[in-house]
Amino acid sequence: MSATAVKAPPSAPAPQPTKDQADARIGLRGHIRHTGALVRRNLLWIKQDAESMFDAVLMPIIFTLLFVYVFGGSVGQALGGGRDEYIQYVIPGLMAMMGMNMAMGVGTGFNQDFQTGVMDRFRSLPIGRSSVMLAKIVVELLRMLIATTILLVVALIIGFSVESVLGLLAAVGLAMVFGIALMWIFLTMGVVMKSAQAIQGMGFLVLMPLQFGSSIFAPTQSMPGWLQAFTDYNPLSSLADAARGLMNGGQPVAHDVWVTLGWSVALTLVMAPIAIHKFRTKT
C-alpha cells in the first residue's frame, strides 16, 4: 500500500515592515549619508536650472534699494537722522525678512517634487524619510546664506556700517535658526496643499501682515495701539530688533534673542513631527 504524501499548508508571507519601522532601522550614519546624497542631488538640480536662484540673488538687491531710496528719507527723519540713519535701521530688518521669503521656497519646491513624481521615487527607495526633508532644509539654508551675503554686500556699498563682526555673525545665525523653524511650516504645506501656486498664495497672505506688522521697516511707536500690541508678540519684531542690537550695538538684545529662540524651538517642536508624519503617510 502506497503512502499518500501529505502537503504542508503554505506558509503565510512574512509581514512587510511599515514605513516607520523601515525608517527606524536606518541609523544616524545612514541618515547623514542619505541627506548628503540628496543635498548633492538638489544642488545639481539648481546648477542645471540657474533661474531657480533668481529670487535669492535679485530679491535682496531690489528690496534693499527700494526701501532705502523710497522710504529712507522720510522714515530716516522720524528716526532723528536721514537716509543714512534708515540704512542702519532697515538692513537688519531686511535680513530677518529674507528668512521668511526663502522659507516659502522650500515648500513650493517640495510640492513640485510631488507633482512631478520625484517624491514617489524617493519614497520607494530604502532611505530615511526625514533625510528627504532635511536635505531640502540644508539646500534652502545655503540659498538663504547667499541671499544674506548679497544683502550685506549691497548694504555696505550704499553706506551700511557694522559695529561688531561677531554680532553680525550672531545675527545671521539667529536669522537662520528662525528660518529653519519656518521651513517646517512650509514643508508641511508642501505636503498637504495641492499646488505650488496655492502655497505661494497662502504664504503671501500670512507673510505680508507679519512683515509689515512688525518693526522690520519702521519703528512701531507711531502705529495704532492695537497694531503695536500685535507687533509686540510678532516674532519678526523680536528677530529684527535682536539683529539691530547685535549688528549696531547700543541696545540690550538678550530679551529679543531669547524670544526669537523660543519661537524657533516651539515652531520646530510642533511642526517638524507634523511635517514628517504627513510626508510618511501621504498617499
Per-residue confidence band for 57, with pLDDT thresholds at 50, 70 and 90 = confident
Residue 168 lies in a domain: yes
Q: Which helix (H) or strand (E) holds 4?
A: none
Query: Rounded CA gap, 108 and 196, in Å?
Result: 5
Q: What's the whole-model pTM score?
A: 0.82
Say if 24 falls within a structural domain. no
Q: Could you tell me if residue 22 is inside a domain?
A: no
Query: To the nearest whole number, what is the mean pLDDT of the chain?
Result: 82
CA distances from 124 to 22, 119, 149, 252 (A): 11, 9, 38, 51
Burial-class residue 79 by CB neighbours within 10 Å (0-12, 13-18, 19+): middle
> Residue 139 falls within a domain, yes or no?
yes
Percent of the chain surpassing pLDDT 90: 25
Is it the case that residue 177 has pLDDT exceeding 90?
yes
**Using an 8 Å Cβ cutoff, are 148 and 98 in contact?**
yes
Question: How many domains does the chain divide into?
Answer: 1
Q: pLDDT tens digit string along 235-281?
A: 999 999 999 999 987 678 899 999 999 999 999 999 999 988 888 78
Distances (CA, A) of 222 to 66, 157, 236: 22, 30, 18
Instruction: Please state the φ and ψ torsions of residue 79, each to the nearest 5 degrees.
Output: -85, -5
Contact call for residues 178 and 260 (beta carbons, < 8 A): yes
Domain, as residue range, for 240? 30-43+50-281
The verdict on residue 1 lying in a domain is no
Instruction: Map residue 179 onto helix, strand or coil.
Output: helix
Tell me what pLDDT residue 14 has.
43
